[in-house]
Amino acid sequence: MDKSFGNSDQAIGKYVYDLLRPEDPILEASRQEALAAGMPEIQVGGLDGRHLEILALLSGAKKTVEIGTLAGYSGICLLRGMGDGGHLYTFEYSPLHAQVAHRNFKMAGLENQVSLYVGPALERLPQIEHEGPFDLVFIDADKGNYPEYLKWAESHLRKGGLVIGDNTFAFGRIAQDPPQADATSVFALQEFNSHLAGSPHWKTTIFPTGEGLTLGVRV
């Protein structure tokens, strides 16, 4: 039996997706809203959205920070995992993307559980530090700043809190010498993964999703 890392069998992928049916009409509508606004198709997929929902639920998270809102798809999933009383502090660089996300949060009936900050996340994050410590930090933004986002998370997560980083396989280049155009992002993701794997402050694993989902527990 092949127990190698990940599973590239498309039939098994289809089986899991059809079995779990992770994308309901609200999530599908939020995806379509993003497409209609001309946004790039880079939000998490349906199964990764379900992963986020389950991780938020398992951890008992009630205060979650999301770095990289995009159209609000992943935020909706995190909020569903947190349930009533949960609050999402989400950061988006693009004003246009933030407008679409606001509409999607409202469509999902979750707008009262969201604080949406527009602009560079590293400049805006200090505005919420008084709300900490936080239960979960999800990072899905500019790859070059992943180490800085992790540094912030390490200082502001509670013990037992989670940090989750998406795209941590660097789009298939994480174990390669990257081309010059991608070097900054790939080296930053390597540093992100290496710190989580080697630091005594974290207990870490990597989910072998298509793009890599790194999960660290603050210890």
Task: List, for residues 181-209, the tens digit of each pLDDT value.
Answer: 889 999 999 999 999 999 999 999 999 99
Alpha-carbon dihedral sign for residues 200, 66, 169, 2: positive
The domain tally of the chain equals 1
Residue 99 falls inside a structural domain: yes
Does residue 3 belong to any structural domain of this protein? Answer: no
Residue 97 lies inside a defined structural domain of this protein: yes
pTM, full prediction: 0.95
CA-based torsion, 14, 18, 22, 28: positive or negative: positive
Q: Please report which residue ranges of the chain form alpha helices under DSSP H.
A: 10-20, 25-36, 46-59, 73-82, 95-107, 121-124, 146-156, 183-198
- Higher-confidence residue: 3 or 146? 146
5 in a structural domain: no
pLDDT at 5: 58
- Measured CA to CA, the distance from residue 156 to residue 183 in angstroms comes to 29
Within-domain flag for 4: no
Q: Does some domain include residue 1?
A: no
Instruction: Output the pLDDT for position 179.
Output: 86
Q: Is residue 136 part of a domain?
A: yes
For residue 4, name the pLDDT band (cuts at 50, 70, 90): low
**Higher model confidence: residue 15 or residue 157?**
157
180: β partners: none
What digits encode the pLDDT tens for the residues 164-188? 999 999 999 999 888 888 899 999 9
Structural domain for 21, as ranges:
10-218
Residue 92 in domain: yes
Identify the sign of the CA torsion 200, 174, 49, 79: positive
Biggest CA–CA distance in the chain, Å, is 51
pLDDT-based confidence at residue 6 (cuts at 50, 70, 90): low
CATH classification of the domain holding 92: 3.40.50.150
Residue-wise pLDDT tens digits, 51-102: 999 999 999 999 999 999 999 999 999 999 999 999 999 999 999 999 999 9
